[in-house]
Amino acid sequence: MTWGLTDVTVRFGVTNALVDTTLTVEPGQVIGIVGGDGAGKTTLLRALVGEVVPRSGSVHAPAPHRIGYLPASSGSWAELSVRENLEFVGRSFGLSTSQVAARADELLARAGLDSARDRLARQLSGGMRRKLGFCMATVAEPDLLVLDEPSTGVDPVSRVELWRLVSLAAAGGAGVVMSTTYLDEAERCGHLMVLDEGHVLLSAPPEEALASLVGTVVTTTDPVHPERAWRRGRTHHEWWPPGERPVGSTITPDLEDVVIAASLARRAGVAA
Amino acid sequence: MVVKEFRELRRDRRTVAMIVFMPLLLLVIFGYAANFSVDSVTTAVVGPQADQVAGMLPDFFDVTTTDTALTEADAHDMVQRRDVDVAFLADGTPVTVLVDGSNLFAAQATVSVLNKMGDQVTADVLFNPDLETSWVMIPAIIGLILTFIGTIVTSIGLVRERTAGTLEQLAVMPIRASTVILGKIAPYFLLAAFDMTLVTVLGVWLFGVPFNGNVAVFALGAAIFLFVVLGLGVFISTISQNAGQAIQVAFMLMLPQILLSGMIFPLDAMAAGVRWIAYGLPLTYFTMISQGVMLRGAPIDSLWLPLGALTVMALLIFTGAVLRFRRDLAPSRRRGHAHGEHVEAATR
């Protein structure tokens, strides 16, 4: 069974938060949703879990008890302990007390939260709290796991641990859709969707995304068009649309270059 | 800095409302409502010489009933049901005057007027013979405590889910919206009920406040009132983004109730325009019920007006607030789109 969105458009007032978006999630697949602030990442995830009603299009999702969701906020109850949080969510998802206990033991051990099981959620560090949120989202072994920026604000070590948990969930058969602002993380996904102002710029596996660049990216110390340039380390990268003669040294773009170039191309009205 | 402050204030509609609304409210209350002097009391004159006695009474006594056939028991009944504040038993000299002590300020004013009438009358203050302020205040304070828990504590508890982002979590969990709402409200209902019992028992025990009426009638009134104030709390949570905003709105809703419900200033002494505001406030009606049951032992049929008014308020406020809160939970389910192996489709 596959899940996803078909031609979904979401509007908030006069603003198009998501435009004609189609996404298919296969079991065991990890899909990364990438984009800047206000790109529509959270709206897409919220549409998928049923928290936002699309203006048009259709959403294909499992029943609520088969969806795991980690919202952009902590997602856990601050005044409940780690164990109580998992207990509450597990029981709400219809697991028996013994099933919840067994699953909680397993997840907490994997997440390295074993020793913190009796600590209140508010006493956890940011990274630990995100991991707890992840454990809560996966406690009922969902078919569809939706994670809103699970690693934002998380230290590098915890990010690695979170990724291990995501991989394990996917290996267990869950379709995973996660938004992220980290492109190195996005490159690890099986499929990538890049959003910009609610529009889909790219939707492809990372290697295909890298090959989908429209125009040319050069490296330069003195950009000709500063509005089409971005700083990378001590130099600038500059995007040149097709038909224009680039000034600078042409480079093989990485994912960051491709994402920025795709965004500039859309705003310049250049078709991918 | 000043410009920044004004810009922020201009966009903070609640604070602007408070800045505009509070001074007006205080002005109206203290101008028209803050009056302890009762100028007249509703009066019944009964007994064989009722017509003569009624004709001799000063203007302070607003005679609404004159009946030569009625007896002392009837007069007592009229005062107990609060059909009148005072009843004259015109069956000889001196004339016995039954005064409703649960209507404290009216009773104090009545006793003062009766004292000036000399030996012709004997005052018999019912339900609060020593005209104790605490006897009248404690039944009203029970309502205030219920209002506090129902409005402020409930709204903060609910709005905490929103600020922590856990409302979003609850919205997508496989729990029915009605179960979430019931689960969130039931603890506050029980806590408020516990507090009410505690304060009532302590009021009776420490201050000697009598409990003359039927406990079931009191509990019924309190339960209906709780639905009203819990509804207000839920409503506040739906229009607040954080605890500060919730407290601000709750404060704006509570202050008029404290000042205009008759708890501090007597309703009879308020200007007519302000009194109508008082009759739109739930605490006014709960105070009528609590004072009526505890002090006067008022039977349920004499409390039909406050019970009815509270029931209407409960239905409107609680239902409206719950529907608003439900709107924040699982919007896809709200609109009837099944979300589950499914297809939640919208057409162009």
ipTM value of the model?
0.82
Same domain, A254 and A173: no
- Note whether residue A75 is domain-resident: yes
Question: pLDDT-derived band of residue B119, with 50, 70 and 90 as boundaries?
Answer: confident
Sheet holding A175-180, edge to edge: A67-70, A144-148, A175-180, A30-35, A191-196, A199-204
- Note whether residue A79 is domain-resident: yes
Q: What average pLDDT does the structure give for chain B?
A: 88
Per-residue model confidence as pLDDT tens digits over A156-170: 888 888 899 999 999
Same domain, A148 and A121: yes
Per-residue model confidence as pLDDT tens digits over A64-114: 899 999 998 878 999 999 999 999 999 999 999 999 999 999 999 988 899
Same domain, A241 and A120: no
Token pair 């939970």 is at which residue? B329
Per-residue model confidence as pLDDT tens digits over A211-239: 888 899 999 999 999 999 999 988 999 99
CB contact under 8 A, A74 and B342: no
> What is the average per-residue pLDDT within B82-93?
91
- Note whether residue A177 is domain-resident: yes
The pLDDT value recorded for residue B163 is 86
Helix (H) or strand (E) holding B7: helix B2-11
Same domain, A256 and A201: no
Q: Which residue does chain A place closest to B331, by CA atoms? A: A51
Residues of B in contact with A53 (CB under 8 A): 331-332, 335, 337, 344, 346
CB contact under 8 A, A50 and B168: no
Contact at 8 Å (CB) between B298 and B216?
A: no
Same domain, A154 and A181: yes
In chain A, the percentage of residues whose pLDDT exceeds 90 is 74
Partner-chain residue, chosen from A1, A50, A75, that has the shortest CB–CB distance to B332: A50
CA B79, CA B110: separation in Å to the nearest integer? 14
- Note whether residue A110 is domain-resident: yes
The pLDDT value recorded for residue A158 is 82
The pLDDT value recorded for residue B8 is 85
- The yes-or-no verdict on residue A258 having pLDDT over 60 is yes
CATH number for the domain harbouring residue A89: 3.40.50.300
Same domain, A171 and A65: yes
The pLDDT value recorded for residue A152 is 83
CB contact under 8 A, A66 and B345: no
Find the range with the poorest average confidence among A15-29, A99-113, A235-249, B12-26. Answer: B12-26
Query: Closest approach of chain B CAs to the CA of A183, in angstroms?
Result: 26
Domain carrying residue A248: 213-267
The pLDDT value recorded for residue A42 is 95
Q: Which of A43-47, A206-210, B271-275, B343-347 ranks highest by mean pLDDT? A: A43-47
Find the range with the poorest average confidence among A46-55, B41-50, B77-86, B260-269. Answer: B260-269
From the centroid of its chain, how far is CA B326?
A: 27
Choosing from A184, A205, A226, the residue where a domain stops is A205
Contact at 8 Å (CB) between A156 and A185?
A: no
Per-residue model confidence as pLDDT tens digits over B90-102: 988 889 999 999 9
- Residues with Cβ < 8 Å from B279, sequence gap 6 or more? B309
Partner-chain residue, chosen from A56, A76, A92, that has the shortest CB–CB distance to B346: A56
- B318 by DSSP, 3-state: which? helix
Partner-chain residue, chosen from A49, A61, A77, that has the shortest CB–CB distance to B166: A77
The pLDDT value recorded for residue B113 is 94
From the centroid of its chain, how far is CA A247?
A: 35
Choosing from A160, A186, A205, the residue where a domain stops is A205
CA B218, CA B294: separation in Å to the nearest integer? 8
A233: exposed, middle or buried (Cβ count in 10 Å: 0-12, 13-18, 19+): exposed
* B159 against B34, higher pLDDT: B159
Same domain, A220 and A199: no
Partner-chain residue, chosen from B165, B166, B172, that has the shortest CB–CB distance to A50: B172
Same domain, A220 and A169: no
Per-residue model confidence as pLDDT tens digits over B240-288: 988 988 998 898 888 888 888 888 888 888 888 888 889 999 999 999 9
Same domain, A178 and A47: yes
CB contact under 8 A, B343 and A50: no
The pLDDT value recorded for residue A178 is 96
Same domain, A134 and A243: no
Token code pair at residue A25: 């999630």
Closest listed residue to residue A251, CA positions, set A262, A240, A242: A240
Q: How many CB pairs under 8 A join A and B?
A: 94
Choosing from A205, A224, A250, the residue where a domain stops is A205
- The yes-or-no verdict on residue A208 having pLDDT over 70 is yes
Per-residue model confidence as pLDDT tens digits over B121-174: 999 999 999 999 999 999 999 999 899 988 999 999 999 888 888 888 888 888
Same domain, A224 and A184: no
Q: Report the number of distinct structural domains present in chain A.
A: 2
Same domain, A236 and A198: no
Top residue of A55, A60, A93 to mutate, by most chain B CBs within 10 Å, is A60
Token pair 């190195």 is at which residue? A184
* A155 against B198, higher pLDDT: B198
The pLDDT value recorded for residue B334 is 41
- Note whether residue A229 is domain-resident: yes
| CA neighbours closer than 13 Å in the CB half-sphere of residue A15 | 8
CB contact under 8 A, B346 and A65: no
